[in-house]
Amino acid sequence: MSGFSMADIPVLRHLSPVRSFPHGIHPPEEKDATRSLPIRRFPFAPFLVLLLSQHAGRPARPVVREGQEVARGQPVAEADGFVSVPIHAPASGIIRKVGHALDMDGRMAPAIVLEPYPGSDQLVAWGKDRDPDSMSPREIVGAIRDMGMVGLGGAAFPAHVKFTPPEGRVIDTLIINAAECEPYLTADHRVMLEMPEKVLLGTSLIQKALKASRALIAIEDNKPDAIARMREALAEFQSGNGAGNMEVRVCRTKYPQGAEKMLTKALLNREIPSGGLPADIGVMVSNVTTASEIGTLLPRGQGLIERVITITGRGVERPGNYLMPIGTPLSFILEQVGMKGQAREVLFGGPMMGKAVAFVETPITKGISGIVVMEEEELPRKSRVYPCIRCGECINVCPMYLNPSTLGQLARKNRFDEMAESLNLFDCFECGCCSYVCPANIPLVQSFRLSKAVVRERMAAK
């Protein structure tokens, strides 16, 4: 249990130097296994599987054919339309297949299979240097699209689309999300410690692209070393080229602090309207690793071919933070880091919002920030589901101030439309706080997910 802070008291919340949002939970962090391990390069797998749809929007269109040789960093697929991004070869090698492969959900999806050369090195031959200072906002957004950048926090939404706010919307604040509130994961933490200048450069580029007057870098107070490192680097960065209005802000460690709706509430006390976008309140939220990758890749004119991910959980023999080539199959990763016999569940992402994986050949995509292999003791006990005892805990923790208790009861009675119409079902972003606290073990989030799917189907049928 973490202690009590001023940020927890409604009236004093805005006076406290440590910012937070109302409600939320304090799950065990479990970050100690990897928080002090430096980022290491992961070796190339014998085959890399590049899913053409690893971002939200239309799948990328292949521009290579089977048997073709590609260089590390070379584009292998181009964006198909505005809401789509290109994909680059993570290693030099031969294209073995342009066809289909299994994705995370177990569906056959369009993919390119690349066999790296045995001696493929880490040098990126592709790309030409650019001077970011001389680029216009438009050019920056174009360069971000060309590098195949997506939101690396997990949403995998094409970054250039996000950084093109709707006509007439003025973005005054860019929030760089470095909360990393999801338990177990430490990738963002390591990125801030090891490449703060890249984070700051990326932040200033995004800020320039958005014409945002200020940028706030939000870090939870469980990462004091990262806060200090970022502040230090910021002082240096600002004295160096005098770049814009940037600030490091400390947030109280609380889940789901890193949700963009919670960050705008915590830092600015602004609420994103129900069904709206951050741009509606003049805010843009971007993940810290997205910023660091932009800061790294944009000046070199390169594409996104690898990302930092945390591999941890008690089921892993050698946990760590790794620079992972996109497309590395899970089987190769588990062989490399060693999986214990007692492992019970493999997750892409953290335990609160991650996805359990069933297929060993599932490849790493751009949106995956961690792999957690959990043992029996880390998982929820298998206990029977009791009737709701109306303890109200779910209502006390829901960061969207919904009523999961009533929603859960309606879901049991299949009254899905009522849930959507009068109880704001679609405001639920499935953070999992309600299921986490429920003493009756009611699968609340799980049933909301199902309810949303049913309502969506019904609306589509109309």
Partner 1 sequence: MSMFEKQGGQKYLDMELRTSPHYSRGVDVPQIMRNVVYALLPAAAMSVYTFGLSALALFLVTTVSAVLTEFILGRLSGHDNTVGDFSAVITGLLLGMTLPPGFPLWMAAAGGAISIAMGKFMFGGLGFNVFNPALLGRAFLQAAFPVAITTWDAPFAPGRFIEMINTSLALPFMTPPPHAATGATPLAALKFDGQVTPSLELLLGTVSGSAGETSALLLALGGLYLAARKMLDWRIPAAMLGTVVVLSGILHTVNPQYPSPVFMLFSGGLMLGAVFMATDMVTSPVTGRGVLMFGLLTGVLTVVIRIWGGLPEGVMYAIILGNAATPLINSHTQPRKYGTVKPVKQKKQQQGGA
In this complex, which beta carbon is closest to partner 1, that of residue 381 or of residue 413? 381
In this complex, which beta carbon is closest to partner 1, that of residue 227 or of residue 347? 347
Nearest alpha carbon to residue 367 among 133, 105, 127: 105
Residue 62: asked if its preceding bond is cis (omega within 30°), the reply is no
**x/- track of binding to partner 1 for residues 113-152 (CB under 8 A):** ----------------------------------------
Q: What's the burial of 380, exposed, middle or buried (CB within 10 Å: 0-12/13-18/19+)?
A: exposed
Tell me which stretch binds partner 1 (CB under 8 A): 41-49, 119-127, 317-325, 332-340: 332-340
Q: Tell me the three state secondary structure of residue 129.
A: coil
Contact between 3 and partner 1 by CB under 8 A: the answer reads no
φ and ψ of 355, to 5 deg: -115, 135
Residue of 231, 415, 449, 452 interacting with partner 1 (CB under 8 A)? 449
Residue 392: partners with Cβ closer than 8 Å, 6 or more residues away:
405
Contact between 390 and partner 1 by CB under 8 A: the answer reads yes
Give the Cα separation of 304 and 73 in Å (integer): 8
CB atoms within 10 A of CB 447: 20
In this complex, which beta carbon is closest to partner 1, that of residue 3 or of residue 273? 273
Return the residue matching tokens 């949303």: 452
| Sites for partner 1 among residues 145-184 (CB under 8 A) | 183
Give the Cα separation of 185 and 10 in Å (integer): 29
Query: Which two structure tokens, joined as six digits, stand for 225?
Result: 């070393």
Q: Tell me the three state secondary structure of residue 264.
A: helix
Tell me which stretch binds partner 1 (CB under 8 A): 36-44, 61-69, 282-290, 399-407: 399-407
Give the nearest distance from C-beta 446 to partner 1 in angstroms. 5
Residue of 427, 452, 454, 455 interacting with partner 1 (CB under 8 A)? 427
Give the Cα separation of 17 and 441 in Å (integer): 36
Residue of 51, 205, 210, 343 interacting with partner 1 (CB under 8 A)? 343
Q: Interface residues with partner 1 (CB under 8 A)?
A: 25, 27, 102, 183, 261, 265, 271-276, 331, 334-335, 339, 341, 343-347, 349, 351-361, 374, 379-381, 383-384, 386-392, 395-396, 399-403, 405, 424, 427, 430, 432, 435-437, 439-441, 445-446, 449
